[in-house]
Amino acid sequence: METKVLKIDPVQPDPDVIARAGKILDAGGVIAFPTETVYGLGCLAEHTEAVARIYEIKQRPRERALAIYLADSPDVFDHVEHVSIEGHRLIERYMPGPITLIFSDRTSGKTGFRVPTHPVLTELITTAGRPLVGTSANISGRPSPTSAAEVLAAFEGRIDAVLDAGPTPLGVDSTVIDCTTSPPTLLREGAIAADEVRALLGGPLADGRDPTASPT
């Protein structure tokens, strides 16, 4: 397989390049894309073979669900069963932004939701007309990539395309918070500091970080 490298402006994405990437997704492809934090790896949820490819090439345990990437924060409410008061506060303050929030979805499972600020990914989701599912574009246990070159070093010939928008602005993973617990549980401290989240919530934040866990 040839991995197509689609160069694109990070601020004003070329609609033709976005359309090419959208066609790859529609055909069941797996692509890498920039976010404000790190590069992600994703596909459309209805293409089950593409979803399975992500798990395989990333070497990700199947019990760890992929995140849902959305174009706008109100879209979160279309996918979740219940949003707590704390969840509402986190959505209002940090989405779009470098945070992944976990909620109970409508299938009685738990799913992470991301609403990135990167114009390339926002346009890609909008063009696709539905959310993407995915995760960071690294082999599990290795650092998350902040450039298309790092993505290619891991996955060239194994994914269909990478949208190369240069280095990611923040260069650190999103902060992950499980909003299905009371109080919410910090699973990963990333671009947003735990103390900042505690200040916003005005109360405790459980610490569910596993010091032995590897990066996603």
Query: Are 59 and 147 members of one domain?
Result: yes
Query: Are 34 and 84 members of one domain?
Result: no
Task: Give residue 216's pLDDT.
Answer: 52
In a domain, 18, yes or no: yes
In a domain, 214, yes or no: no
Query: Are 101 and 87 members of one domain?
Result: yes
Query: Are 135 and 197 members of one domain?
Result: no
Low-confidence ranges of the chain (pLDDT < 70): 211-216
Query: Are 1 and 60 members of one domain?
Result: yes
Task: Give residue 214's pLDDT.
Answer: 41
Q: How many domains does the chain have?
A: 2
Q: What share of the chain is helix, strand, coil (3-state, %, to 5)?
A: 30, 20, 50
Helix (H, G, I), strand (E, B) or coil at 51: helix
Residue 105, domain extent: 72-114+174-209
Query: Tens digits of per-residue pLDDT, 17-61?
Result: 999 999 999 999 999 999 999 999 999 999 999 999 999 999 999
Query: Are 90 and 192 members of one domain?
Result: yes
Helix (H, G, I), strand (E, B) or coil at 127: helix
Q: What is the spatial distance between Cα 135 and Cα 131, in angstroms, rounded to a whole number?
A: 13
Q: What is the spatial distance between Cα 70 and Cα 186, in angstroms, rounded to a whole number?
A: 21
